[in-house]
């Protein structure tokens, strides 16, 4: 479904977020990416829908080469849902309108079709009663759930999550994770950057550990938690697993 | 004479507000374009029109512009009875648009980039990103300075008396020189200017209230 072949990216000599990345993710897999700040985790998923470009190598998404100029980038992006760390619903639109925008403008659904579809998705994330609320009237967790619904409205084949819970109050994390777990159980292909190891243990088929732009270890759950191979992975796992998971909030990495 | 003055002033206000807003938006989008040449011309426009007085542009469009046109067209313009008004609209528009575009650009900078990224990742194209996501937020963010600018533009309409546009200030001067009742005429004009400026301010305050977007939700979205 997604294939990275020798992908490299460099911002400067000190900052090399992606070093020779090779990774293949198949349909229906849930892959969790973890690692310390500045490890290149966010960049790894941002290059999949070309929010960032790569310097060399090739990325193939759903059989389409990203570097190929004939690839319809807008169409590809529409099929790749993305949820960010920052709470970024459109602040001037209600929850429902946030979800309706792209289906109407990109998929050319009629207003009624888009409305029906969006209401269904709001129900799915448990927020049907808040359809008329503006983002400022929603809690962080609710905003992220609407953001997930907004991505799902495009019927994506792949969902990318870039630390969707790290900007949230600890109490609100689980409601977002629950939505993600149910998505995973429905068979969605997902790549999730997160430090919620309980989430990883429950739904991830594989965990990728990154540091300094390199993939140091790819392990199946729960092996990577119980018996990490690389010394950096050991260090990292012992550090974060000793911290109660629900308190762990990583500083934003950029 | 006063009544015509009021009418012309209102006409200038309405038309130039709209035209300068449109032109300013176009220039602002040019300045944020990915194309280098567009960015350059946008910048050039702002620097030229913002750094030369508005009165100069009024005089330019009235006296010089027809001369620059191919022979015949300029003469036709000069012969056109309402050309002073047309020149006034052009002069005020290019002047005000340079400020409007810069204010809009500041509005764009106030919106976190993640808003654009979300729009991209849901498959919206460039035009749709601006139309449905960025511009609505930009206009909300810049309402206060934009309002001030529009009031300023309204006051600038009085400069048009220099190119024989029979607007309100011109009318007071005419009344003064014809009837020596300048004091009364000026008093009326003052009241009119203040009343209209204040009502513009009131409209802006109402708009701000109506379109208020919660700043806290936006700064939060900005990340740290």
CB contact under 8 Å between A92 and B140, yes or no, is yes
Return the sign of the alpha-carbon dihedral for residues A201, A203, A207, A212: negative
B223 pLDDT above the threshold of 80: no
Whether ipTM tops 0.85, in short, is no
Residue pair A163/A250 in contact (Cβ under 8 Å)? The answer is yes
Average pLDDT, chain B: 90
**Cβ contacts (< 8 Å) between B223 and chain A: which residues?**
85-86, 167, 252
B175 pLDDT above the threshold of 80: yes
Of residues A248, A247, A250, A206, the one with CA closest to residue A224? A206
A45, B73, B118, B203 from B193: Cα distances, Å: 57, 36, 45, 15
Q: Å from B208 to nearest chain A CA?
A: 13
Measured from the Cβ of residue A223, the count of other Cβ atoms closer than 10 Å reads: 12
Measured from the Cβ of residue A5, the count of other Cβ atoms closer than 10 Å reads: 15
Kindly list the residues of chain B whose beta carbon comes within 8 Å of any beta carbon in chain A: 112, 114-115, 117-118, 120-125, 128, 132-133, 136-137, 140, 211, 213-214, 216-218, 220-224
Query: What is the C-alpha separation between A93 and A113, in angstroms, rounded?
Result: 18
End-to-end CA distance of chain B: 60
What are the tokens at B8? 């012309």
Query: What is the C-alpha separation between A24 and A4, in angstroms, rounded?
Result: 6
Query: What is the C-alpha separation between B171 and B161, in angstroms, rounded?
Result: 9
What percentage of chain B exceeds 90 in pLDDT? 73
Kindly list the residues of chain A whose beta carbon comes within 8 Å of any beta carbon in chain B: 49, 51, 74-75, 77-82, 84-92, 101-102, 105-106, 134-136, 140, 143, 147, 150-151, 154, 167, 251-252
Tell me, what DSSP letter sits at residue B59? Answer: H
pLDDT single digits (tens) B11-64: 999 999 999 999 999 999 999 988 999 999 999 999 999 999 999 999 999 999
**Cβ contacts (< 8 Å) between A89 and chain B: which residues?**
221
The predicted structure's pLDDT at residue B81:
86
Confidence label for B213 from pLDDT (cuts 50, 70 and 90) = low
The predicted structure's pLDDT at residue A254:
44
**pLDDT tens for chain A, residues 1 to 254:** 899 998 988 888 878 889 889 999 999 999 999 988 888 899 999 999 889 889 999 999 988 888 888 888 888 888 899 999 988 999 999 999 999 999 999 999 999 999 999 999 999 999 999 999 999 899 999 999 999 999 999 999 999 999 999 888 888 899 999 999 999 999 999 999 998 888 988 889 999 999 888 899 898 877 788 788 888 888 888 887 764 444 444 555 54
Q: Which residue of B has its CA nearest to A49?
A: B121
Residue pair A77/A47 in contact (Cβ under 8 Å)? The answer is no
């Amino acid at each position: 479904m997604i294939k990275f072949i020798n992908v490299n990216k460099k911002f400067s000599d000190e900052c090399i977020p992606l070093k020779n990345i090779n990774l293949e993710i198949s349909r229906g897999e849930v892959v969790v990416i973890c690692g310390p700040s500045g490890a290149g985790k966010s960049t790894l998923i941002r290059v999949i829908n070309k929010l960032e470009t790569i310097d060399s190598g090739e990325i193939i998404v759903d059989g389409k080469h990203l570097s190929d100029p004939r690839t319809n980038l807008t169409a590809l992006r529409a099929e790749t849902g993305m949820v960010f760390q920052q709470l970024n619903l459109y602040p001037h639109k209600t929850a429902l309108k946030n979800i309706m925008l792209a289906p109407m403008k990109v998929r050319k659904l009629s207003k009624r079709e888009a409305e029906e579809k969006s209401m269904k998705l709001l129900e799915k994330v448990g927020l049907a009663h808040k359809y008329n609320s503006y983002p400022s009237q929603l809690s962080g967790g609710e905003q992220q759930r609407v953001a997930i619904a907004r991505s799902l409205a495009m019927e994506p084949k792949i969902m990318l999550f870039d630390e969707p819970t790290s900007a949230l109050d600890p109490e609100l994390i689980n409601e977002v994770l629950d939505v993600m777990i149910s998505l995973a159980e429905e068979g969605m292909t997902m790549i999730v950057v997160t430090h919620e190891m309980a989430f990883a243990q429950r739904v991830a088929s594989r965990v990728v550990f990154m540091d300094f732009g390199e993939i140091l270890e790819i392990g199946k759950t729960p092996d990577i938690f119980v018996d990490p191979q690389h010394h950096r992975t050991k260090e990292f796992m012992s550090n974060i697993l000793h911290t109660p998971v629900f308190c762990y909030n990583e500083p934003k990495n950029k | 004479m006063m009544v015509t003055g009021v009418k012309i002033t209102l006409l200038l206000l309405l038309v130039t507000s709209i035209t300068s807003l449109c032109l300013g938006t176009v220039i602002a989008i040019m300045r944020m374009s990915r194309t280098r040449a567009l960015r350059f011309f946008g910048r050039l426009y702002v620097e030229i029109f913002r750094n030369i007085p508005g009165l100069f542009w009024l005089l330019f469009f009235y006296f010089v512009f027809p001369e620059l046109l191919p022979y015949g067209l300029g003469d036709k313009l000069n012969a056109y009875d309402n050309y002073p008004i047309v020149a006034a609209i052009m002069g005020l528009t290019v002047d005000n648009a340079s400020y409007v575009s810069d204010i809009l650009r500041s509005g764009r900078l106030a919106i976190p980039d993640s808003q654009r990224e979300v729009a991209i990742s849901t498959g919206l194209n460039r035009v749709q990103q601006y139309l449905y996501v960025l511009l609505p937020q930009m206009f909300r963010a810049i309402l206060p300075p934009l309002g001030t600018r529009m009031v300023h533009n309204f006051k600038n309409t009085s400069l048009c008396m220099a190119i024989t546009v029979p607007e309100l200030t011109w009318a007071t001067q005419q009344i003064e020189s014809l009837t020596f009742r300048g004091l009364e005429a000026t008093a009326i004009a003052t009241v009119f200017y203040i009343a209209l400026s204040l009502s513009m301010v009131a409209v802006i305050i109402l708009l701000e209230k109506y379109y208020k977007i919660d700043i806290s939700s936006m700064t939060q979205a900005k990340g740290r």
